[in-house]
Amino acid sequence: MASHDRVKQYIAYWFQLGKKVLIRNGKAAIKPQVVLLGARYSQDFESCWQQILSSESGDCFLEGTHQTITELLSPEWEISDCARCSMPIPSRVKGMPPDTCPCFDLPHWPDNEKPLPRSPINNKSYLLGICERLFNKEDNITADTDFSK
């Protein structure tokens, strides 16, 4: 089963590549202007996400797919990586996989020259992790060095 956070991440990644979410059974489309804001999702993205989850929005699905967001949140589906482009795609827990990846209609994708879509990153935690690894490596080098020779 795809977790709530994994489905949210799936939508966020595809928003970063310009995909929209069709709401009201395909009658309207939404896409935030900004998806990430520092170490979190933007308020614009969060508003879109709440609209997607709202019962008033009817069936909602990512542009180029047939699975509704409600279906993806059910135990029948999980989110895995596309073999072609490594982007998250829905797949059935049992049964046949989806026909295509949402990347099928993106010209020039995958593009290894551009940064890949990503999740929010807490820069402070990330940098502290680097510092910690450097200090641990320095401690190991010092312990392994024999200065008596």
H/E stretch holding 90 = strand 88-92
The residues, ordered by sequence, that sit 6+ positions from 122 with a Cβ below 8 Å of its Cβ are 39
Which pLDDT tens digit goes with each residue over 40-78? 999 999 999 999 999 999 999 999 898 999 999 999 999
| Rounded-to-integer distance, Cα 11 and Cα 145, Å | 50
| Rounded-to-integer distance, Cα 27 and Cα 22, Å | 7
Q: How many CB atoms sit inside 10 A of residue 19's CB?
A: 21
Which pLDDT tens digit goes with each residue over 20-39? 999 998 899 999 999 999 88
| Rounded-to-integer distance, Cα 102 and Cα 76, Å | 19
CA angle 137, 143, 146 (to 5 degrees): 130
Which pLDDT tens digit goes with each residue over 99-146? 667 777 777 777 878 777 887 877 888 888 888 888 887 666 555 555
Q: Write down the H helix ranges in 1-149.
A: 4-16, 43-53, 69-72, 123-144
| Sign of the Cα pseudo-torsion (86, 18, 99, 28, in order) | positive
Average pLDDT of every residue of the chain: 85
The residues, ordered by sequence, that sit 6+ positions from 123 with a Cβ below 8 Å of its Cβ are 38, 39
